[in-house]
Chains A and B, each alone.
Chain A
C-alpha cells in the first residue's frame, strides 16, 4: 500500500467516524435529551462490564501466548532466590490487582444511575481508613523484609574462593580480563590506553600484569558451581553488565569500580538441554544507554565444567605475551571488535 492511499484511507475513516459522531449527537437531541442520556448510561455501564471480561480474557491469552517465551530457570544461585521472591510479589500484587479492578468495574455497573437511585451520602469513616492504611503497611513490611534479606545476600562480599574477572565496557563492546596464574589483576591507568596493544591501559611496570589474559571477543568464561566476582569498569561512558539469565545487573561507570558476584548453576550444554534450544547462549546485554551502538553491545557468557575451563584457560596467552616485543604503536582510530554490528 503506498503512502498516499493509506493517508487517503485514514482521512476517510476519520471523516466517517466524525460524521457518525455528529449524527448520533443530533439523534440524541431528537429522541429527547433525558431518554437518550439514560440509554447512553446503560450502554456505557454494559460496555465497561464487557471491557472488564474481555480484559480478563486478554490477560489469560497474553499469558498463554508468552509464557513459553520467558526466561528459563535461573542460571545463578542468587537467581533462584530471586525467582521465589518474584513469585511472592506477583501473588501479593496479583491479589490486589484483581480485587481492586473487580471492585472498580463492579461498583461502576452496580451503581449506574437510574431514575430511582439516589446516592448514599457517605463522606468518611475513620475506621475504614485505618484498616486500609494498616493492611497495605503490613504487606509492604513483608515485601521489604523479603527484599532486604535477598538484597543483603546479593550485595554481600564475594566468598574467598571466588574467581575474579574484570569486565570493562567501551563503545560498543566488552573487554574481559583474567588475572592469570598469579591470581592478581595488575594496575591499569586510562592514560596508558591505546587501541593497538593496550586496550585496558595496563601498567607494564606492574609485574602482575604480565600474565593477565585479555579477551576482546566479548566472551566471559565461567565455571559451573564456582562463585565469580566481576570487577566492573568503563573506558568511556556508562554501560551496564546485564545478565538476564543470572538475574543480575550492574552499571559500568567510568572513574569508579563496581562489583557483583554470583554462582553459575548450569553449563551452556546443560542449558541447551533444559531449554531444548540448540542455539542457546547466555547473553550479556548492555543495559545503560551508551550511544548509537547500545543495542548491539552484546557479550556472551560461557559456563564450563572445571575440566573444560582448565583446558580453555591453558590455551590462552597472556595479553603481554601476545603483544610482546611489538613497539608501542601510535594510537589509531577506534577499532570495534568483532561482535559490533558496524553502522554506516
Chain B
C-alpha cells in the first residue's frame, strides 16, 4: 500500500505515472498485496467473481447429479460413484445424499453465487467507478468482507467431506429437522458447519453492505448528485440496505438454532418424540424460526434480483442507444420494492397454521409488490421501443433477463395469493417459479453485467461467438427445464422428493422428468463454455483498444483501459449531467458523457 494514497474524493492520485499501455502499477507492489490481500475494490470485485464462478460450477454440478436421479430413477451411473464415492454406491445416489446435494445446491447458488458472487462483484467494481470515487469508504473493511466470505466458503466446502455428510434439511433448514441429530444424519456435524459458515457469511455481507452504502452516500464526485447516479448504483444501494437490515435477523435465527442444538434450549423445540424417546423440550415454536428465516429469506430474493435489475437497465439503455425510460419511476419502484420486501415474508408460511387473518394481510402486501415490478417491466419495454438496438452479447442477456423476469414474476401472483398457494405450496410450481425469476433471470442480469464490464475488468473482450452460443443454449434451456415444471406443480407433484415412481399421482411424469434432466445437463455444459470463455479471454481475449468500447456516458469508461488503484490518473472527473444522455452531441456521436458540461440553452434532464 505504500505507493497509493487515498485521502478522499478530490485528492489527486499521487501515482500519476501510469503508462496507458501497461495496465499495471509502475511501482513494485508485492503480488500478495496486489492480488491476494488487495484493498483495491476492482481486485476485490474480481475475487468475488472468481469465487462465485467456482461455486456456481459446483452448485450446477450438484444439480446434474440430482437431476440424474430424478430423471432416471431406475438407472445407475457408475461415473457418479467416482465423484461421490460412498454416497453413490453402485452409481445410485442414496436418499440421504440426494437431500444433502439439494440443500447444498440451494445454499450455494442463493448465497454464495447470487449474493456474494453477484453483489460482491458488481458493487465492488461499479460503485467507485460509476460514482467517481477512488475506492470504497473503507477499503480495509472491504477486504475483510471478501475474506470472511472466503472463510465461510472454506467451511462450507469442508462440510461436503465430513463423514455424516453436509446439511441436508433444505436450504431453509427448518427445525426441528435441522436441530436434532436424531432426525437426519445431515443434522449432525454437517449442520454445525453449515451454521458456522452462514454466520461468517452474514458478517461478510454486513461488512460489504455497510461499505457500499457509506460509499454511495459520501464519496460521490463533484456534480454526482443522487439523481445523476446510474440505476446500477441505485439498485446496489437498495440491495445493500436490504442486506444490512435483514441479515442480522437471520443471524439471530441461527444463533437460537445453535443454542437449541448444543445448549439444551427450547426456542424451536416442543413436544417431540424421536428415536424412541420423548425429548424434554417444551414450549418452543418451530414456526418462530420460519419467521426469522423468511424475514431475511424474502428480502434475500430481492437482494438477488436488484443488482440484475440495475445492470439490465444500464445495458438495455446503452445498447439501445436510448435513455432508460422513466428514470425517476425506476427509482421510485426500487424504493417500493425495497420497502415492501420487508413486509411480505410470511407468504412463505401460508400453510403453517398461521392465523388466516394475518395471511390475508400478507396476500395484500405481496400482490402489491407486483405493481412496482410491473412498472419496471413496462419501462424496460419502452426503453427499447424506438431504440437503435445493437445485439451485443450483454444486450442479448439483458433482453433475456426481461423475458425471464416476466415469466417468473407472473407465477408469483399464484403463489402470493394464499387461496392458490394452499395447493401449490412446496410443489414443483414453486421450483419453477423461483428458478425462473431469481435463479435464471438473476443469472442473466449477472451475465449481462459480466459481458458488458469485462473490458473494464480485464481490458479485453470475451469471445462473441461463444457468448451467443452460451446465450441461446441457456435461454432455450432455461425455458425447457423450468416451463414444464409448472405443470408438474399444478398436478401437485411435491418438491424435495428423491423418487416419484411409487406414487400413482405423480409417476406419469417420468418421461418428462427424463427430458428435463437431459436439458439440464446440456445447459450445464453450456455454462462450462462460458467459464472457458471467461478464463481464456482474461489472457487471450481480443484487446480493448479504446477507453469506451460501448459508447457509454457513465464515468467508469473515462478511466484508463486498465485503471490502477485509485481509478483516475490526475483529478477525478466532475459530473455535469445524468447518466443517460443518449443524444446527438453535435460531433457525430450518439451519446454525451456525464463529464461534458451542459451546452448553452441545453436543458438538464
Contacts and interface: CB of A to CB of B under 8 A. Distances in A.
Contact of B382 (A10, A20, A122): A122
B389 A82 contact: no
Nearest to A191: B278
B196 interface: no
Contact of A236 (B176, B411, B476, B491): B176
Given A107-B381, A298-B502, A143 B413 contact: yes
Interface string B40-78: 000000000000000000000000000000000000001
B259 interface: no
A237 B403 contact: no
A241 to B, nearest CB: 9
B529 interface: yes
Nearest to B504: A281
Interface residue tally of chain B, by bracket?
Answer: 35 or more
Contacts of B598: none
A55 B278 CA distance: 55
A137 B368 CA distance: 7
Interface string B465-490: 11011001001100110011001001
B372 to A, nearest CB: 8
Nearest to B468: A44
Contact of B496 (A48, A62, A250, A294): A294
A193 B584 CA distance: 80
Interface string A137-167: 1001001101110111011000000000000
A140 B410 CA distance: 11
B456 interface: no
A111 B320 contact: yes
Contacts of B283: 255
Given A14-B528, A129-B375, A144-B417, A121 B582 contact: yes
Contacts of A245: 492, 505
Given A124-B326, A236-B274, A143 B287 contact: no
Contacts of B413: 89, 92-93, 140, 143
Interface stretch (B6-14, B177-185, B227-235, B294-302): B177-185
B386 interface: yes
Nearest to A141: B367
Contacts of B384: 104, 107-108, 111
B505 A18 contact: no
A144 B363 contact: yes
Given A128-B382, A248-B423, A20 B353 contact: no
16 contacts: A17-B469, A25-B542, A45-B389, A89-B414, A118-B584, A123-B327, A124-B327, A143-B413, A170-B273, A237-B180, A249-B423, A250-B353, A285-B492, A287-B425, A295-B494, A331-B276
B75 to A, nearest CB: 12
A339 B79 CA distance: 32
Nearest to B374: A136
Nearest to A140: B367
Given A104-B399, A291-B177, A256 B285 contact: yes
A44 B396 contact: yes
Interface of A: 3, 6, 10, 14, 17-18, 20-22, 24-25, 28, 37, 40-41, 44-45, 47-48, 51, 55, 58-59, 62, 66, 69-71, 79, 82, 85-86, 89, 92-93, 96-97, 100-101, 103-105, 107-108, 111-114, 117-125, 128-129, 132-133, 136-137, 140, 143-144, 146-148, 150-152, 154-155, 170-171, 190-191, 193, 195, 201, 232, 235-238, 240, 242, 244-245, 247-251, 253-259, 279-281, 283, 285-296, 298, 331-334, 341, 343-344
B449 interface: no
B422 A249 contact: yes
Interface string B396-410: 100100110011001
B580 A123 contact: yes
Given A17-B466, A22-B465, A288-B426, 4 more contacts: A14-B532, A62-B484, A100-B381, A292-B168
B377 interface: yes
A100 B417 contact: no
B389 A69 contact: no
Contacts of B386: 111, 119-120, 122
Nearest to A15: B532
A283 B176 contact: no
A125 to B, nearest CB: 8
Given A14-B529, A17-B529, A119-B582, A280 B99 contact: no
What are the nearest 5 A-B pairs in CB distance? A244-B492, A255-B270, A258-B353, A44-B391, A155-B356
Contacts of A283: 503-505
B272 A151 contact: no
B95 interface: yes
B86 to A, nearest CB: 12
A133 B170 CA distance: 37
B33 interface: no
Nearest to B369: A140
Given A17-B529, A24-B465, A237-B180, A123 B396 contact: no
B417 A147 contact: yes
B321 A119 contact: yes
From A118, A237, A290, name the one whose CB has the most chain B CB atoms within 10 angstroms. A237
A235 B582 contact: no
Given A20-B465, A113-B390, A143-B367, A293 B273 contact: no
Contacts of B183: 171, 236-237, 291
Contacts of B95: 292-293, 295, 343
Nearest to B492: A244
A6 B425 CA distance: 38
B112 interface: no
Contact of A147 (B326, B399, B411, B420): B420
B15 interface: no
B514 to A, nearest CB: 13
Given A111-B385, A331-B277, A123 B475 contact: no
Contacts of A122: 322-323, 325, 382, 385-386
Nearest to A132: B378
Contacts of A334: 275-276
B286 interface: yes
B360 interface: yes
Contacts of B502: 296, 298, 341
A235 B532 CA distance: 51
B546 to A, nearest CB: 12
Contact of A132 (B375, B407, B475, B483): B375
B585 to A, nearest CB: 12
From B285, B384, B423, B529, name the one whose CB has the most chain A CB atoms within 10 angstroms. B423
Interface in B569-605: 580, 582-584, 590, 605
Nearest to A83: B423
B287 A55 contact: no
Interface string B349-380: 00111001001100110011011001101110
Interface string B243-285: 0000000000000000000000000011111111110001111
B562 interface: no
